[in-house]
Amino acid sequence: MALDQTDINTIAHLARLQVDEGDMEQYVHNLSDILGFVEQMNGVDTSNVTPMAHPLDATQRLRQDVVSERDQREKFQANAPQVEDGLYLVPKVIE
């Protein structure tokens, strides 16, 4: 699978990643190589195979819908780049 710069730009946008112009050629090359490598999977007949999501085929464990965590907002927000009045600040979204 050969990708081009347009593909890389689309993928990078979906992943919300800034890709520097100078690195573009290397991403085109590396990602094409990786996708080419994983194409070995294509020839395998898996029409009757159930996909495996969990090694032990376990299912989701459920718990009672009760409060199990205490409020530690200030502690958590100590790691945030920008907070005000207990709120996380981001660049203006709505004009």
Partner 1 sequence: MHNKTVSELSAGLHAGAFSSEELTAHFLRRIESHDGQLNSFITVAGDQALAAARAADQCLASGTAGPLTGIPLAQKDIFCTEGVRTSCGSKMLDNFISPYDATTVSRFNDAGMVMLGKTNMDEFAMGSSNETSFYGAVHNPWQLDMVPGGSSGGSAAAVAARLAPAATGTDTGGSIRQPAALCGLTGLKPTYGRVSRYGMIAFASSLDQGGPMTRSAEDAALLLQVMAGFDERDSTSVDTPVPNYSAGLNDGLEGLKIGLPKEYFAEGLDSHVAAAIEQAIDAYRKLGATIVDISLPNTHLAVPTYYVVAPAECSTNLSRFDGVRFGYRCEDPVDLTDMYKRSRGEGFGAEVKRRIMVGTYALSSGYYDAYYLQAQKIRRLISDDFRRAFADVDVIMGPTTPTVAFGMNSHSDDPVAMYLSDIYTIAANLAGLPAMSVPAGFVDGLPVGLQLIGDYFAESRLLNIAHRYQQVTDWHTQAPAAFS
Question: 26 to 65, contacts with partner 1 by CB under 8 A?
Answer: 26-27, 30-31, 33-35, 37-42, 44, 46, 49-56, 58, 60-61, 63
Structural tokens at position 89 = 């600040």
Structural tokens at position 45 = 């007949």
Binding residue for partner 1, selected from 2, 5, 17, 25, defined by CB under 8 A: 17
Shortest reach from residue 8's CB to partner 1, in Å: 7
Binding residue for partner 1, selected from 21, 64, 66, 72, defined by CB under 8 A: 72
- The answer for residues whose C-beta is within 8 angstroms of residue 88's C-beta and 6 or more apart is 77, 80, 82
Q: CA-to-CA distance for 93 and 95, rounded, in angstroms?
A: 7
